[in-house]
Chains A and B, each alone.
Chain A
Amino acid sequence: MIVTFPHMGTMHITLKALFTDLGLAVLSPPPITKKTMDIGAKYAPEMACLPFKITLGNFIEALEAGADTIITCGGVGPCRLGYYAQVQKNILKELGFEFELIAIEPNIIQVLKILYRLTPGKSWKEVYAAFRLAGAKMTALDSIEGKISNIRPREKVSGRADLLWQQSVKEIEAVQNISDVQALVGGYNEKLNKVELKWDYEPLRIGIVGEIYVMLEPFANQDIVRQLGKMGVEVHKTMFLTDYVRVHLQRSRQYYNAYQQIVDLAKPYLGHYVGGHAIKSIGCTVEMSKAGFDGIIQVFPFACMPETIAKNILPKVSKEVNMPLLSLAFDEQSGEAGVLTRLEAFIDLLQYRRSKKIVQ
């Protein structure tokens, strides 16, 4: 049995660590390329959203490379993600692949059953240790990434932070135990602290809200975080894999309360959960206006139902909390130049706004 899974940013490192430690043979899908998206878009329903198409492309490429078991997520709606697995399974079967697809539903008994079946002979202690290591890697990657998006707009020689990022990803992927992961994080934090910065430069601060897949997968969002960083903008993503796992899977109290506060901020504008991250997008916009951000960019896959709703409500929020907003929908036809032009225009506008504020 060779296990594979969909890509989403650096998630493959976490999942690879988890499944390898559980004693499974793992094959990460090849990195996402234009070809992945083209294959996915070719076989997916026309109106399916972008994550569906890219993950379908991942599966096809991984199965062609020799994987025979797909582990992916399920869900209970109303977002379409919950029904991806079944439709993708049918499409792959029709294409003639022989494989097993395991969809992890948010149901603890089902999860335990799957674990029991996949890891014969492993004690619960070993299973727990595997989850611990995967969690440590996830936290490490997210903390370094957060720090890097802080440094990128300020560095004197551009490209230093990105270089360190690429190195750290590789090294974290390679190490095998938690203490090594922590040592690496400490080492990279020191290296990052030594990167020379322009001290007199006060970058614009932009928050990114929206759908998790498009936000975390650089290929899906035309690498918007790095592009903005290169233009000298400090970017804050409102979604990290760590947050998602802590809030929705572990229900960690501290994270969950923070999430509830965001939901409360969104209440006047969107009174009910509509699936996906619509409530969080709206709540974070309100929160970031209070935290003194200069602008908000909303990213989402074209025709994503929850984010379309957020998109239709955010202009009112933006007006009321006095916060410039740019909504960007992505699909398989998004071009880099178009996105860049719009980002540049948005940044010009924010800079003009800031200079006006200083004059006043």
Chain B
Amino acid sequence: MSYLAEVCLPVKAYFGHAYEVCQDVDYLFVPRIVSAAKGQYTCPEIISLPDMLRSNILKLPKMIEITVDLRKDWRSLYHAVAGGGGIFNVGKIASLYAWHQAWRMGQVQNYLPTAKKEGLSIGLIGHPYIIYDRQISMNVLDKLGNLGVNVVTPDMVEVYKAQNSAACLDKEIFWCYCSHLVGAALALMHPAQVNGLILMSSFSCGPDSLIGEIIKGRAQTLNIPFMLLTIDEHMAEAGFVTRLEAFIDMLERRTQL
């Protein structure tokens, strides 16, 4: 039985995943990621994932809920790793080694910048759990690739560049990844490295509703085309493709002028 309502699409997908595996496992790993950087939070829905799971899925297996909160204390990650290992009677050193292995794998799998081809390039701004998920994003990366444009994602923008660009905002953004998203978008626009920007956001995403406005405002001043694509579970593919095509047609016409 589930009452899940009004949350964003990625959280719904998360629930789907959790529901599918929860009957077949002894433990469910649901870390509570409160913050991944000093002075910042992840979004409230991410913070409350373990609680929402517990309230909406009956017969949950045992949950491994470790809290990572780097907002005030950078050692929180160490405590989380060591504590997580402790649940399985693994020592601190071994836990840290396992974490290090996992971290290295993560580095390898990051989306690497591809060699730049001729033609238009588009900045695709969005949370990684949206734009890299084929189902949620309707495979937007491949679709844009097939349309013959180079796609730049926020991960391809160096962190220090994004931070420098974000520093010109009136107030630091207090959502961890959003801060990078805005910084990356601003860095791509000034100096202009892309012909247009697409912000892909899920319906009812709180942080994106405000940072979208910041990016849109800046794009307007710099005269860079900007499109907001809002996704939810009712989205149909045809409408989605039409909008991408129209946007690219418009960019092509702009370059010919």
Contact = CB atoms under 8 A, between A and B. Distances in A.
Nearest to A77: B174
Nearest to B6: A308
Interface stretch (B36-44, B153-161, B184-192): B36-44
A313 B217 contact: no
A90 B214 contact: yes
Interface in A245-275: 269-275
Interface in A263-307: 269-276, 278, 302-306
B193 interface: no
B45 A82 contact: no
A272 B55 contact: no
Interface residues of A, number: 45
Interface stretch (A44-52, A112-120, A125-133, A173-181): A44-52
Contact of B44 (A84, A274, A315): A274
A316 interface: yes
Contacts of A76: 39, 174
A87 interface: yes
A212 interface: no
A45 B216 CA distance: 10
Interface in A304-326: 304-306, 308-309, 311-313, 315-317
B4 interface: yes
Contacts, number: 127
A136 B34 CA distance: 38
Interface residues of B, number: 44
A78 B6 contact: no
A308 B205 CA distance: 11
Contact of A87 (B39, B44, B65, B210): B210
B234 to A, nearest CB: 15
B5 A311 contact: yes
B47 interface: yes
A83 B40 contact: no
Given A305-B44, A308-B6, A329-B6, 10 more contacts: A77-B41, A77-B175, A89-B170, A90-B217, A269-B51, A309-B51, A312-B3, A312-B4, A312-B5, A312-B55
Interface of B: 3-7, 32, 34, 39-45, 47-48, 50-52, 54-56, 65, 67, 169-171, 173-175, 201, 203-210, 212-214, 217, 230
18 contacts: A45-B212, A48-B210, A49-B209, A78-B44, A80-B206, A84-B210, A86-B169, A86-B171, A87-B213, A91-B217, A269-B55, A272-B32, A304-B206, A308-B6, A309-B44, A311-B5, A313-B55, A316-B55
Rank and list the top 5 A-B pairs by shortest CB-CB distance, nearest first: A77-B174, A47-B209, A78-B41, A274-B44, A316-B55
Interface of A: 45-49, 74, 76-80, 82-87, 89-91, 94, 103, 269-276, 278, 302-306, 308-309, 311-313, 315-317, 329
